[in-house]
A and B are shown apart, each in its own frame.
Chain A
């Protein structure tokens, strides 16, 4: 990606964060911390896409397209012989997961000759990010439409997100579960 495009992407992201900040009372504090916002937008993380077929064969020359939450293309490239393509992405922190750790999320599209396309939603951007994508071969016996999958968001990030919003709504826990240690799922009822 050219330098100019980087600057435009960063500016768009910054505008997006500021807009969200204005519309959310919970994040108004960000307006008082411009340095934090600046750092957030300029921190990058490397993400590795690994494209393979359902029969575990790595797919060379698959095109991966990465899109941000504003619909902008952040980057695109072809996988190598190991089915891998990497890109450094700006870490635009997704506040839904902030309780567990700072991760961002993007959308990816994978396209390869001989395979149906796939859209991967909620691809996590964080340290040590790896996103496997499993493509399905074109078959005359199927409709061959694109497939959909979810990004490889870590279990602990999902648990952290649910805990965050359950606590925010002051929910109670359900009764304890046999054989579980100090754990019960959340209840729909509030304290």
Chain B
């Protein structure tokens, strides 16, 4: 998934530094929850109006938990089921954590993620009570393979108000599907995550 994002960014930017090429950084390192701490900060490249094709205006360094709190309400609806929001909270955190370990450099800017759907949509100061609660409730929880490797949990919107069957077992969570399983299926967040991501399990950190 990371390579796909890199390819997407490659298409959008004419000039790239060598550091941006896949596989040059961290090639020998396997980061796991056993040898890697949860980051305290994350570098967010800010593009105007959250436009994925917009130029980078600046890179903002923010607290990692604040970052997750300012992503979740923009990716999952704050009015959705609490277990759905918890599933989203774990995905948002794992996605961000993975990218702090795989930074990119572009046009002289080095960053971990940007504020758009190239990575995850981020808006400073947009946290809401239900989504902040979901982030806090799951802050000491990760969803990883048995090796503990920190991997990206990717997701897409899916089709509104539907089950989104095609996403099951694809390692891509449907946001609307997660809402179906939380609100109609009454599943807990580990069960929602298990519908989409294979070979992973809940772990405490």
Contact = CB atoms under 8 A, between A and B. Distances in A.
Given A56-B124, A181-B166, A128 B73 contact: yes
Given A127-B78, A179-B4, A181-B167, A99 B160 contact: yes
B156 A155 contact: no
Interface stretch (B20-28, B126-134, B140-148): B126-134
B163 to A, nearest CB: 11
B175 interface: yes
B49 A56 contact: no
B10 interface: no
Contacts of A108: none
Given A56-B60, A127-B79, A183 B128 contact: no
A149 interface: yes
Contacts of A134: 124
A145 interface: no
Contacts of B127: 130
B74 A182 contact: no
Interface in B52-98: 58, 60, 62, 73-75, 77-79
Given A130-B125, A181-B174, 13 more contacts: A50-B126, A56-B60, A127-B79, A134-B124, A149-B49, A152-B126, A156-B175, A159-B160, A181-B158, A181-B166, A182-B158, A182-B159, A183-B157
Interface of A: 50, 52, 54, 56, 83, 99-101, 126-128, 130, 132, 134, 149-150, 152, 154-156, 159-160, 163, 179-183
Interface of B: 4, 49, 58, 60, 62, 73-75, 77-79, 117, 121, 123-130, 156-160, 164, 166-167, 170, 172, 174-176
